[in-house]
Amino acid sequence: MKILITGGAGFIGSNIADALIGAKHKVVIFDNLSSGKKVNINLKAKFYWSDITDKKAVDDIFRKEAADVVIHLAAQIDVRKSVEDPRYDAGINILGSLNVLDACVKNKVKKVIFASSGGTIYGECASKAPDEKSFPNPLSPYGIAKYSVENYIKFFSAIHNLKYTILRYSNVYGPRQDPKGEAGVVAIFAGKILANEPVFVYGDGKQLRDYVFVLDVVNANIKALTKGDNQTINIGTQKTTSVNDLAKVMSKSSLNYTQSPVYKPARDGELFKSFLNISKAKKELGWQPKVNIKDGIKETLKYFKKINAENK
């Protein structure tokens, strides 16, 4: 099977590409390297350095490659940036995605797998983890854009018979996440801890998140190649970890770390609790997470230690 991955040089996309190549699929990566890195790209993948906002480039590449499946991950991923500049966010996340969907239809792509955001679409979560029937309540332009694209995908499916699986991720973490980026507290903490610098905790640190390891997310995408047609599916762990507990787990996993967290004022608009019901993923994909938070943190820190050693 030939699979084209938009955002395939990024954190999640490059891990998916490696797994697909390992399973003997042909992989094409489409990425503008704004947040992705060339070093992440598997040498067996075909790479195009381009942007989903460039409609002509999208059309040309999709026509040339004639992929069977498109995994669409390319996005503006910074929630705070979306709040500061909603037009910029929409230009990439909505209009860029429409370019991808148009090209899928024109070139008879059999299926699109879309990386959506369970961490932002449901808004503030109560005591019960939201399932896919829960009413969406995105509180940021980023979440609004992701939910908008989900609905555009359903439109393209109804009008053009384009098959899809929408995967709503919780907070994904693991190797290759950018410790200097604006998204991904695990990677940010890892960068600070390995430099023996204090981590910054905004608010009281009691905020709860559903952290899912990247290789579990990879496995969900692989299963979605042949399952979950025309379904929207949560991908998480259905468990919560506070920011305080995350900092403790990560600190204990690094033997030489001597710093204590530094608490700063809470940031406006930040959710207190976010986690996902994953019953549908088990039913439709035969998927469930295999990596617990402690093991995932160990693997993540091991990766960043290796990268630090290589860069010295």
Residues tagged active-site: 142
3-state class (DSSP) for residue 47: strand
Strand-strand pairing, 208-209 and 241-242: antiparallel
Q: What is the CA radius of gyration of the chain?
A: 19
CA dist 96 to 58, 119, 215, Å? 9, 21, 26
- Residues 6 or more apart whose Cβ sits within 8 Å of residue 254: 193, 194, 301
What would the two tokens of residue 155 be? Answer: 């439109």
Are 19 and 218 contacting, i.e. CB atoms less than 8 angstroms apart?
Answer: yes
What would the two tokens of residue 90 be? Answer: 């929409």
134 dihedral zone (left: phi>0; alpha: psi -120 to 50; beta) = beta
Closest CA to 31 of 16, 21, 23, 146: 16
Q: At what angle do helices 293-311 and 243-253 cross, to 10 degrees?
A: 60
Q: How many residues does the chain have?
A: 312
CA dist 53 to 57, 89, 100, 101, 302, Å? 9, 11, 9, 12, 36
3-state class (DSSP) for residue 30: strand
The DSSP result for 278-299, as a single string, is -HHHHHHT-------HHHHHHH
